[in-house]
Structure formats: structure tokens, C-alpha cells
Amino acid sequence: MRIDKAERLKRLPPYLFKEIDRQKEQVRAKGIDIIDLGVGDPDLPTPPHIIDALKRAASDPANHRYPSYSGMADFNAAVARWYQRRFNVDLDPSKEVVTLIGSKEGIAHIPLAFINTGDVALVASPGYPVYHIGTRFAGGEPYFMDLLKQNRFLPDLEAIPSEVAQKATMMFINYPNNPTAAVATKDFFERVVTFAMEYNVIVCHDAAYSEMAFDGYRPMSFLEVEGAKSVGIEFHSLSKTYNMTGWRIGFAVGCSDIISALGQVKSNIDSGAFQAVQIAGITALEGDQTCVEDMRQTYTERRDILVAGLRSIGLSVEKPRATFYLWVEVPQGYTSAGFASLLLTEAGIVTTPGNGFGTAGEGYVRMALTVGRERIREAVERIKDIGL
């Protein structure tokens, strides 16, 4: 029997982080000690009070059955209360909140609710690969909005051709931004709302890094802007805020019609998030938030060490106000892939080539602050030893 993959799979490049894992294993097999600054997976443990909540909930047989497709009413209500406390945004938990099996799942599924064959989605480049992959899976075509240094890594909405904007169904934006670590202003979000209203475009804002901010900076929610809830939704996750990447719990909030359509897709594809994990999520959102401030302090210290170290070598990098990423310009004469390969093979340091996030990411590598301070210092010394 011949096994022939669907065209949608043949059209996809290798998933970026899966390819990085493959390269890592090749180097590790040679006995090289690896310092992994690649995938953004926190090395910090989930706080104990959240783990304890899961243990108790997992022991309750009532949580062993199918959960609600749209999420437990208590979890959705906890999300609404958190949004009110954090952003002063009012949400109806029964209509404007849906529980996700991690925000990646929701981002991948939302195009299925609104994209028809040939429709356009406006997608940032560089950007999280799932935005354009989900679009292609739904039969749509991504139009890439370049994020450039001279524009503070914000898309230039006026540069989008009107014929493209008129065909567009959705727009994916993400601030604080992965991979550039850029942040957005209220003025930018207001311009996004105006654009969306003019062209009837659904805005999907990925806010996974809103709580990972430093030096007193507090990122805002897209939904704080007047009119935003009428044109879009915001995706969020407990993964980075509470070091729960493996738990797979997140949520989307915003326009009730958009939330309903996403929920309709999910009800036909999955059976909801494990109820015990949702109960642990309630504890995360409503429990002691000292763990979040501790997380910020840890990444602030790591950020400062790595930024200072890279600058001492002569590499150009901005000090990020949010996320746990550094967007590092590659030295003259190198491509993104070439520099990432050099760091891996000559120094045992894993980074992510910027062009893996889109063509506009060429000329950069992304470094994640997901190892301890001493390992970061060691990484800097290894790069020095290469002699750039």
C-alpha cells in the first residue's frame, strides 16, 4: 500500500522546534555539552500550591469524566475575574470566555471557524509559526506583514495593499512579541481596531507573555482599547506565567460571536481540558501571585547578565521590556542559520535562527532565558572563545 500525505502536509516546512530538536540530538550524540537557549520552555518548576491543587482534584472521581467542551464554569469565571483585576476588562464568562488545551490549540483551530479556501489571513513575519500553519490547514493563504527594526517591530498597517486587506478575514498579532520581544502601545492597538473595522477583519491577539515583563512595565490587553471586543479576541495561557507549559491549559476571551465559533470548532474536535487541570488553573489565577513576581525577578537577572555579556562581545541586542527572549543581530557576514549553526557546532549553544520565524527574521537569532545564571555566563564565555 502506498502512503501519500495530503497536500497540506507536503506544503509545510519542517516545524521549527522539531527541527531544532533533531539538530540538538546530533550534536549531543557527539558528546558535546549543550546549553539550550532555543525553545521557550521555562526551566522553572510549577509553583507548589498549583501542584497541590492538581493532586487533590485528580484524586476526586468527579473529575475523571468528560469535561465541558467550553470549560468549567468556575474556571471561566476565574478567568473573567483575573481580567477584571489585571486589565479592568469586563467579560461575561458564559459567552466571552472559552477554555483551551493550551493557547496553541486555540490559535491553530480559530482559522477553521472563519477561513474559507483562498481567504487571506494577515500574519506577522517573523512570528509564531502556528499563525500561518493554522491558516494553511484551513485552506487560507497567509499574507506576511514584515516586523522591522525601524518600525519597532510593529506591522505597518498602511503598507498592506488595499486589495489584500479587502480579501483578509483575520489578522494575527502578538504583543509582547515572540520572537522579537517588542511591545505594543495603546496607539498601535487603536490603529488595529480602526483597520479591522474598515476591512471587516477579525483580530486574534496572542497575549501569552503579558505577565512576563520587567522594570515595572505592565503590558496592556488589546481588549482595553475601545471597540476591540467587537472585532477580536485575545489568546492567553498559563504556560509562561505559572511555568505550566506541559499542563496544556489556556483560554481565549473577547467577542462572543468569535468565541462561540471557536467553541463550535472545538466541540467537534476535542473533548475539553482535563477538569483537574482546570481546577489547578483556578488556583493559579486566584492564589498567591508571589510566584509570578519571583519569576519576573529571575528572568530580569538572567536578561541583564546575557545582554551585558553579548554586548561585551560586540553583538547588538536590545534589552527587552517583556518576554524571556533576546532578539540578537547576527555578526556581519553571517546569515541567521549560519550563525545559529556556528553557535551550536562550535560552542554547544542552541539558539533559534530568526528566519525560521519568517523571512523578515533574517539577520537575527532568538535566545531564550531558560537556563540558570551560571549557564548563561558560561554561554557568554563560549561565544567569546569562538572569536567573532
pLDDT tens, residue by residue, 303-340 = 999 999 999 999 999 999 999 999 999 999 999 989 99
| 374 backbone dihedrals φ, ψ, rounded to 5° | -65, -35
Burial of 134 (0-12, 13-18, 19+ CB in 10 A): buried
User: Which of 286, 308, 326 is a domain's end point?
Assistant: 286
- DSSP secondary structure string for all residues of 103-114: HHHHHHHHHHHH
Give the Cα separation of 255 and 373 in Å (integer).
Answer: 42
Nearest to 164 by CA among 196, 122, 130: 122
Beta-carbon count within 10 A of 240 CB: 23
Does 148 share its domain with 136? yes
- Contact between 291 and 242 (Cβ < 8 Å): yes
Does 350 share its domain with 262? no
Give the Cα separation of 55 and 215 in Å (integer).
Answer: 35
Chain Cα centroid distance, residue 278: 20
Identify the CATH number of the domain in which residue 39 sits.
3.90.1150.10
Q: Which residues pair with 144 in a beta bridge?
A: 123
pLDDT digits (tens, 9 = 90+) for 130-172: 999 999 999 999 999 999 999 999 999 999 999 999 999 999 9
| 86 backbone dihedrals φ, ψ, rounded to 5° | -80, -40
Specify the 3-state DSSP secondary structure of 226: coil
Residues of the domain holding 304: 7-45+290-386
Beta-carbon count within 10 A of 44 CB: 15
Burial of 215 (0-12, 13-18, 19+ CB in 10 A): exposed
Does 32 share its domain with 156? no
Does 179 share its domain with 52? yes
> pLDDT tens, position by position, for the chain (388 residues)?
888 888 888 877 766 667 777 777 888 888 889 999 988 899 999 999 999 999 999 999 999 999 988 899 999 999 999 999 999 999 999 999 999 999 999 999 999 999 999 999 999 999 999 999 999 999 999 999 999 999 999 999 999 999 999 999 999 999 999 999 999 999 999 999 999 999 999 999 999 999 999 999 999 999 999 999 999 999 999 999 999 999 999 999 999 999 999 999 999 999 999 999 999 999 999 999 999 999 999 999 999 999 999 999 999 999 999 999 999 999 999 999 899 989 998 999 999 999 999 999 999 999 999 999 999 999 999 999 998 7
- Contact between 171 and 157 (Cβ < 8 Å): no
Does 271 share its domain with 360? no
Give the Cα separation of 223 and 193 in Å (integer).
Answer: 10
User: Which of 286, 307, 335 is a domain's end point?
Assistant: 286
Does 233 share its domain with 149? yes
Answer whether residue 281 is part of any domain. yes
Q: Which residues pair with 172 in a beta bridge?
A: 123, 204
pTM of full prediction above 0.85: yes
